[in-house]
Every structure is written in C-alpha cells, then in structure tokens.
Amino acid sequence: MNKLDQQHSLYSIQQLSTKLNIPKSTLRFWEKEFEGILLPLRTDGGQRRYTAEHISVVREINSLKEKGMSLADIKKTLGGIYNRGRSDGEGIDLLAERVAGVVRSEVVRFFEEGE
C-alpha cells in the first residue's frame, strides 16, 4: 500500500477482493450495475481505491445477493437508502457523479502537493 492508501485506509480492488472473498470481475460488474451507489475513488492512473464506506456497500450488496435478492431488487433497495428524501433521483445521481469527480481531483492534487 502506498503512503496515500496507508493514511486513509484505501484499498485496491485486489485487496478488497481478497478481504471480502469476492472476485475482482464481480466488483467491476457491480460498479457498473450500481452506478451512483458504488463509485470507488480513482488514482491518477485510473486504479480503483475503496474506502470503508465502499466496503460497507459491497458487503450489503453481497449479503442481499446471498439472500437470493435479484440485482434489480438490490438496486431498488440500495437506491432507496442512498436517495432517500430526494425527488429527482436521476438529477441527483448526475450531480453526485460530477461532484465526486471534482472531489477526487482535489484530493489527488492535495496529496501530490503534500509529498
């Protein structure tokens, strides 16, 4: 783990896969399936980095899947949790993606300047 990862408990996709015993291909698939719900951070090189919050979401997806819930039902369940109190889910999701991109850029810039 590099300095940035150690300081902020960020996990690579390999580390998350090993930690939760979920194949990397499944994690990548879920990222696409649960767009707006599971959105890992990215390094400058495009590598995924997962936080404790991401790990909670992945565990919840996996738990619901193991209980036999379909992906569509999991999306509805988690979408309701993550979009609670919002009237325009699509608009909020788009805004959240844009904000996340800006935040990622600023976080990377902050740590690059600090090294």
Q: State which CATH number among 1.10.275.10, 3.30.70.1560, 3.30.2130.30, 1.10.1660.10 fits the domain covering 3-114.
A: 1.10.1660.10
Quote the DSSP letter at residue 67.
Answer: T
pLDDT single digits (tens) 43-94? 888 899 998 888 988 999 999 999 999 999 888 888 766 655 445 555 566 5
Res. 39 pLDDT band, cuts 50 70 90: confident
Res. 22 pLDDT band, cuts 50 70 90: very high
pTM of structure: 0.64
pLDDT single digits (tens) 4-20? 444 458 999 999 999 99
Q: How far is residue 25's CA from residue 48's CA, in Å, rounded to a whole number?
A: 13
Domains of the chain: which residue ranges?
3-114
| Of the candidates 55, 43, 57, 38, the residue with the CA atom closest to the CA atom of residue 3 | 43
- Cβ atoms of 37 and 48 within 8 Å: the answer is no
DSSP states along 68-111: T--HHHHHHHHHHHHTTT-S-HHHHHHHHHHHHHHHHHHHHHHH
